[in-house]
């Protein structure tokens, strides 16, 4: 039990998530690692069912739509616990797009979002392209209006969860008309004619979810599949980035907590030169630095979550989400590196939690904006708003 002040409800939610992760998910980690990220289908379904039963699934979505209606702080508490488990086993606690209910049409809500909250449908994001990563505005995918339809073209990469999704958010630039060159986002059912899987490359981590390269060739969708208006597309992407950056920070805190717990337990147990290695100052310092940095990252993440719940200005949120993601992801990578070192040769074995996290947390410095891009955002906001506004 920690000392950070939280309500009884917050504590109950945190405990529920922690128990689920410890009792149901962590026991399957090594199996998943040894089987290309896969666990038996009946176990996967049971995790899915239990995530719903515990009220953790779609925790970020409004209650009146069937979601959990959790505060941002409560979502952070759950995401931290999800971060304690490797191999994306925690992804059974799925969070559908929280930005959607406010901006999508009633038809889109019924067709895609509500079924996603019920766990019957699953989305993925097709934004990044070979020539457009950090520079999202460099996308070359196009959307051309033809009567009551749009025709979509482009090739996307790193489309996470393409293999488990049944619809995509496709980001393109409008071709022709008064909004030519502006961004738009579309719902695209995966089975729409012209949506074509190019390939699913292997990545460092061993996850069941693929990161696909997907081609869209003359994909015709009704104009009613567009989210909002022509020109709105980037706003939704930024809203999603903010949310995900905060949740990545939370998951990194969870990963660091698990690593420190496991490395400390090992260091107490492992005897070399006649004494437990935790007696060696070199080991103590690695653990002490890790714990100190975890505490800093956690306080930053918690305070940011509370700021969002309090409704602070969205520009400040934007900068603080970048700071939290930057600091927590870099922290988790340092902690994972030290944990491998403390475990010694065992830390290099895939059956060891530190080895898996060492590979898995690496991407947290890359996706949803690299560490360099987070620094650019923070520096830009610093110049505009000053220190006290952002860190006061
Ligand atoms: C596992 C994984 C899953 C992903 N899932 C998705 C997904 O579901 N949907 C999706 O659309 N995308 C996804 N992405 C893409 C991800 O968001 C991009 O990889 C990320 O934004 C970086 O883009 P990039 O890889 O093209 O790198 P680049 O933008 O080419 O960057 C290369 C290097 O240059 C640096 N750099 C670039 N611009 C600047 C600058 N202005 N100042 C300083 N340094 C700079 C970067 O920090 C980096 O070090 C995923 C990526 C990975 C690895």
For atom 23 of ligand 1, the residue with the nearest CA is 133
CA of 369 to the centre of ligand 1 (A): 6
107/279 Cα distance (integer angstroms): 63
Helix H or strand E segment including 145: strand 142-146
Token pair 């090739």: residue? 155
The reported pLDDT for the residue numbered 383 is: 97
**Is the pLDDT score of 234 beyond 90?**
no
Average pLDDT, the chain: 97
133/367 Cα distance (integer angstroms): 9
Q: Which two tokens stand for residue 197?
A: 């899987």
DSSP string of 347-368? GGSTTSHHHHHHHHGGGGGTTT
**Residue 237's pLDDT band (cuts 50, 70, 90):** confident
Q: Is 278:268 a contact under the CB 8 Å cutoff?
A: yes
**Three-state SS at 160:** strand
**Is the pLDDT score of 19 beyond 90?**
yes
Helices (H), 27-169: 29-34, 41-53, 72-82, 100-103, 106-108, 114-117
Q: Are strands 149-160 and 211-222 parallel, antiparallel or unpaired?
A: antiparallel
**Is the pLDDT score of 1 beyond 80?**
no
C-alpha closest to that of 304 among 294, 319, 289: 319
- Pocket of ligand 1, candidates 131, 137, 140, 158: which has the most ligand atoms within 8 Å of its Cβ, to mutate? 158
Q: For 102-137, what is each residue's pLDDT tens digit? A: 999 999 999 999 999 999 999 999 999 999 999 999
**Three-state SS at 221:** strand
Pocket of ligand 1 (CB under 6 A): 124-128, 133-134, 158-160, 203, 211, 363, 366-367, 369-370, 372-373, 376
Query: Counting atoms of ligand 1 from 1, which one is nearest the CA of 124?
Result: 8
Strand pairing partners for 170? 126, 186
For atom 48 of ligand 1, the residue with the nearest CA is 370
pLDDT over 70 for what percent of the chain?
Answer: 100
Q: Is 13:74 a contact under the CB 8 Å cutoff?
A: yes
CB neighbours of residue 263 within 10 Å: 26
Query: Counting atoms of ligand 1 from 1, which one is nearest the CA of 369?
Result: 21
Opening angle at CA 85, ends 82 and 87, nearest 5 = 110
For atom 27 of ligand 1, the residue with the nearest CA is 133
Query: What is the pTM (predicted TM-score) of this model?
Result: 0.97
C-alpha closest to that of 200 among 166, 163, 167: 163
CA of 205 to the centre of ligand 1 (A): 17
C-alpha closest to that of 188 among 93, 261, 108: 108
- Pocket of ligand 1, candidates 122, 133, 138, 243: which has the most ligand atoms within 8 Å of its Cβ, to mutate? 133
300/164 Cα distance (integer angstroms): 33
**Residue 2's pLDDT band (cuts 50, 70, 90):** confident
CA of 4 to the centre of ligand 1 (A): 34
Q: Is 189 exposed, middle or buried (0-12, 13-18, 19+ CB in 10 A)?
A: middle
- Pocket of ligand 1, candidates 208, 368, 370, 380: which has the most ligand atoms within 8 Å of its Cβ, to mutate? 370
**Three-state SS at 53:** helix
247/301 Cα distance (integer angstroms): 9
C-alpha pair distances (Å), 234 with each of 107, 189, 215, 243:
22, 20, 21, 14
The reported pLDDT for the residue numbered 65 is: 97
Helix H or strand E segment including 195: strand 195-199
Angle of helix 233-269 versus helix 314-343 axis, rounded to 10: 30
Greatest alpha-carbon pair distance for the chain in Å reads 80
């Amino acid at each position: 039990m920690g000392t950070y002040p939280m309500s009884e409800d917050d504590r109950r939610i945190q405990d529920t998530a922690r128990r689920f992760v410890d009792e149901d998910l962590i026991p399957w980690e090594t199996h998943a690692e040894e089987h290309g990220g896969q666990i038996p289908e009946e176990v996967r379904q049971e995790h899915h069912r239990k995530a719903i039963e515990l009220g953790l699934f779609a925790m970020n979505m409004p209650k009146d739509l069937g979601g959990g209606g959790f505060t941002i702080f409560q979502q952070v508490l759950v995401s931290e616990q999800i971060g304690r488990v490797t191999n994306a086993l925690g992804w059974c606690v799925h969070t559908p797009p929280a930005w959607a209910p406010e901006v999508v049409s009633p038809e889109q809500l019924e067709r895609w979002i509500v079924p996603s909250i019920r766990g019957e449908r699953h989305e993925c994001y097709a934004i990044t392209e070979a020539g457009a990563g950090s520079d999202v505005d460099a996308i070359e995918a196009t959307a051309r209006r033809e009567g009551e339809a749009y025709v979509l073209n482009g090739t996307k990469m790193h489309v996470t969860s393409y293999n488990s999704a049944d619809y995509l958010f496709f980001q393109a630039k409008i071709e022709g008309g008064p909004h030519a060159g502006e961004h738009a986002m579309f719902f695209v059912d995966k089975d729409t004619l012209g949506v074509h899987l190019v390939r699913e490359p292997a990545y460092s981590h061993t996850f069941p979810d693929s990161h696909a390269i997907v081609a869209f060739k003359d994909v015709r969708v009704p104009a009613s599949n567009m989210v909002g208006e022509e020109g709105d597309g980037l706003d939704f992407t930024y809203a999603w980035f903010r949310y995900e950056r905060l949740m990545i920070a939370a998951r990194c805190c969870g990963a660091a907590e698990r690593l420190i717990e496991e490395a400390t337990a090992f260091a107490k147990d492992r005897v070399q030169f006649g004494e437990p290695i935790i007696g060696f100052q070199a080991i103590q310092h690695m653990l002490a630095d890790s714990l100190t940095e975890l505490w800093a990252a956690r306080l930053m993440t918690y305070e940011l979550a509370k700021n969002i719940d309090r409704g602070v200005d969205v520009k400040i949120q934007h900068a603080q989400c970048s700071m939290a993601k930057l600091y927590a992801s870099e922290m988790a990578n340092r902690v994972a590196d030290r944990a491998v070192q403390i475990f010694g040769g065992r830390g290099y074995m895939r059956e060891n939690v530190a080895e898996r996290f060492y590979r898995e947390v690496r991407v947290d410095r890359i996706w949803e904006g690299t560490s360099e891009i987070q620094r650019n955002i923070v520096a830009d906001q610093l110049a505009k708003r000053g220190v006290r506004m952002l860190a006061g």
